[in-house]
């Protein structure tokens, strides 16, 4: 998330009431999670295991819960609870704005686009030309939809990221200030749920077709011309490259990459990154050749046990 204008380190520290290490006028341009940070961004870290990763990242301001040596060219914000203060910044720069009408007056809707009854179109939504938005679709604030997009009934774009920190009193949600971006010529089936990014975009690229009842987590990027069948669940921060085919009821964990033109068969469970141009199935998912060898070996177990039993006699 880039701020609407540059801020200084002292201004940011005042917003969240923290002390800091760095020049008062050190420039701060935005805030992001570790996997999408760039120069000028704030990143937060609250566990020693990840200190080095945050301090050596592209972020130039680190919101951290311990006073450590500050890398050259960077600044620190010292907080007793970086998670809480990252949420404070999200609330400051992306506060929730309630709506008073079904289609916001700030929404921009293109030529020849049809929006069926009972839809909700939030603040600052942009919808391109020649789209069809069927009834009971909800498109939350700041979502961007390209041209020639079809969205079927009951689909929700822009719900909160499923991202929580466990505390003694319960689970504390990391607030979402990102967007959903749907590019041109995308079809979304009925009852799909596509969560907004935490600080960046959840993106579905041009030409991708998605069946009914598919869940796509925060900050995930789905490439061009992919096919995703019904009841697939894709966790946050996943990268699906171009022309990938994912069949029904596949589950994909977070922070993995599915390579270009991969095919994942129904009911597979993906727990690691998969190379492109291969076909996969099973739990955990693996390529066809490896999986069939594994199944063949398992089928030989009774025969091997029988032979061992005879030898024992």
Please state, in angstroms and rounded to a whole number, the distance separating the CA atoms of residues 269 and 267. 7
Helix axes 301-312, 288-299, angle to 10 degrees: 30
User: Is residue 218 annotated as part of the catalytic site, yes or no?
Assistant: yes
- Name which of 214, 215, 161, 158 is nearest 182 in CA terms: 158
Give the active site residue among 134, 171, 218, 277: 218
Q: Which two tokens stand for residue 303?
A: 């025969």
Q: How many CB atoms lie within 10 A of CB 272?
A: 11
The runs of H, that is alpha helices, within the chain are 9-16, 51-55, 82-93, 288-299, 301-312
Spatial contact of 232 and 222, defined as CB atoms under 8 Å apart: no
Please state, in angstroms and rounded to a whole number, the distance separating the CA atoms of residues 233 and 248. 9
Please state, in angstroms and rounded to a whole number, the distance separating the CA atoms of residues 154 and 217. 17
Please state, in angstroms and rounded to a whole number, the distance separating the CA atoms of residues 121 and 145. 11
Positive or negative CA dihedral for 71, 72, 78, 84? negative
Residues designated as active site? 218
């Amino acid at each position: 998330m880039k701020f609407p204008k540059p801020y200084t380190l002292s201004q940011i520290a005042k917003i969240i009431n923290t002390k800091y290490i760095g020049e008062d006028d050190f420039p701060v341009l935005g805030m992001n999670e570790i996997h999408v940070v760039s120069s000028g961004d704030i990143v937060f870290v609250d566990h020693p295991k990840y200190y080095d990763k945050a301090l050596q990242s592209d972020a130039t301001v680190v919101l951290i819960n311990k006073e450590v040596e500050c890398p050259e060219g960077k600044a620190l914000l010292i907080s007793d609870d970086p998670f809480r203060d990252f949420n404070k910044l999200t609330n400051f720069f992306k506060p929730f704005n309630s709506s008073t009408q079904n289609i916001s007056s700030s929404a921009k809707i293109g030529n020849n686009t049809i929006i069926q009854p009972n839809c909700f179109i939030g603040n600052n939504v942009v919808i391109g030309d020649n789209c069809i938005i069927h009834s009971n679709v909800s498109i939350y604030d700041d979502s961007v939809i390209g041209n020639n997009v079809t969205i079927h009934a009951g689909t929700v774009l822009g719900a909160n990221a499923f991202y929580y920190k466990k505390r003694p009193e319960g689970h504390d949600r990391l607030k979402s200030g990102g967007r959903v971006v749907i590019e041109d010529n995308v079809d979304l089936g009925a009852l799909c749920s596509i969560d907004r990014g935490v600080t960046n975009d959840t993106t579905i690229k041009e030409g991708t077709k998605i069946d009914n009842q598919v869940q796509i987590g925060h900050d995930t990027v789905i490439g061009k011309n992919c096919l995703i069948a019904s009841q697939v669940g894709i966790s946050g921060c996943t990268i699906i490259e171009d022309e990938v085919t994912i069949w029904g009821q596949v589950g994909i964990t977070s922070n993995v990459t599915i390579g270009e033109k991969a095919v994942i068969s129904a009911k597979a469970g993906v727990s690691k990154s998969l190379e492109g141009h291969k076909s996969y199935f099973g739990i955990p998912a693996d390529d066809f050749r490896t999986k069939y060898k594994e199944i063949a070996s398992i089928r030989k177990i009774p025969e091997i046990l029988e032979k061992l039993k005879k030898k024992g006699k």
